[in-house]
Amino acid sequence: MKLTELMEIDILQKIQDSFSKFTGMASITTNPEGVPITVGSGFSEFCMKYTRNGSVLGNRRCEACDKKGAVCTLQSGKATTYFCHAGLVDFAAPIMLNDEMIGCFIGGQVRTGPLDEGSIREVAKELGIDPEEYVAASRKIQLLDRDYINKSVQYLEEIAAIISQMAYHNYMALHKSIELEQNSRAKARYAVQHMIKMKKEILRWNHHFKDIDKAGLPDSFKGILKLVNAKAYDIISDIQDTEEYLNISLGNIQLREEAYNVRDMMEEIRINAEIREKEYEGKYRIEIDPSVPQWLFGDKGRIGMLISKQLEHGCRFSRDGIWIKMTAEPYGYGVMVCVRVISEKTVIPGPVLEQMRAGLEQGQSASENSCYHKVEGMTVFGVMVKQMAGEMKVESEEGKGTCFTMSLPQLEIRRNEDDL
């Protein structure tokens, strides 16, 4: 487990900045290999301007020193003091999680006595830095006594221990969250399997009711069967919405792309809708603009399901019926197919409209009292459309009615009917 997975970097940065401000020393936080994960705090001109940023070799040596500090503190399991390649005093303390080092808190860039300016000049030549400027910068480095440095090391070790505790608590919370998520996923899988069985059972009974309907029963009884039949399809629709929602949460939604005939798909949607609900006849019209190619490449099953859902809900709740209009325009290497489901007299109440938009745009849940769509269903729509690199929106206004717009990029397939 990485420190950055358990602690936000900006929090580590603030803790580090506070340490540098309080002690007057430089500090940086690294991973167990000595690679910085924060921006250095309180770095001296000698270290930052010249050694790290002024020389490629110098920067390599500084990184090697950071790694040295991490390795030393890993081996000892406690704070360690050491000299860097340029002769400055550095110290490091481990950030631990379950007896494993996940990070290192490094401080220092100070001196306990006069620096050997001859050695500083030699280092400057090795690094390709102007010796006199390097020496001048070294004279600005803080001179601190050993006692102050030891207290600072102790302080740094205590801060590292606090960070370790914070990381541990975050780790336990994350572990519990993962455990709960795994349990939830197991329950979701069970729910999906159960819903598939329910759907099959309802369809079986629905076919049975249709057989009974042909048996010459009284009209009153046929009316009851018709009502039961319609309700059964409502339940199946709800089950499908919930099943898709659970599959999305499980990450089971995958595109199944294929070449398909657009007009054949729309005709299948029309026939299936009217088989399920005779009342839909005359409540909608489908218009396919000549701009829509005959053959496209995409997930026909999901596109068909999305349009079917729009048709069913539109016919059920629209006052005046609906108009499904499909158009296309050039887009990249293919076309952008636009499907509009329009009801000129139906207006969605403001709060419900906002909930539906939230479901589409942000995947948020909402009230179950939506009079036009279940918002969970809208969430499913939003995820599916995004998976196909498209977008979906809904507009509803008094005097203009309601319009659902689904835009999907599709590849155009050019083929001769004789080849089929």
The predicted model scores a pTM of 0.46
137 in a structural domain: yes
How confident is residue 308, by pLDDT bands cut at 50, 70 and 90? confident
> Residue 338 belongs to what domain range?
258-419
26 in a structural domain: yes
Does residue 146 sit in the same domain as residue 267? no
Distances (CA, A) of 13 to 23, 36, 149, 389: 15, 11, 22, 37
Distances (CA, A) of 52 to 41, 49, 136: 14, 7, 16
Does residue 62 contact residue 52 with C-beta atoms inside 8 Å?
Answer: yes
How many domains are contained in the chain? Answer: 2
| CB-CB neighbours of 316 under 10 Å | 16
191 in a structural domain: no
Q: Point out the domain boundary residue: 116, 145, 178.
A: 178
pLDDT at 70 over 90: no
Q: Point out the domain boundary residue: 136, 161, 178.
A: 178
238 in a structural domain: no
* Residue in the block written with tokens 């994960």: 37
Does residue 171 sit in the same domain as residue 272? no
224 in a structural domain: no
pLDDT at 222 over 60: no
* Share of residues in the chain with pLDDT > 70 (%): 73
pLDDT at 321 over 90: no
Q: Point out the domain boundary residue: 178, 197, 216.
A: 178
CATH code of 354's domain: 3.30.565.10
Name the residue with higher pLDDT: 282 or 324.
324
Mean pLDDT in residue range 94-113:
90
Mean pLDDT in residue range 51-78:
86
Average model confidence (pLDDT) across the chain: 80
DSSP string, 165-177: HHHHHHHHHHHHH
CATH code of 16's domain: 3.30.450.40
pLDDT, one tens digit per residue, over 230-272 is: 556 566 666 666 666 566 555 666 778 899 999 999 998 888 7
92 in a structural domain: yes
Mean pLDDT in residue range 80-91:
90
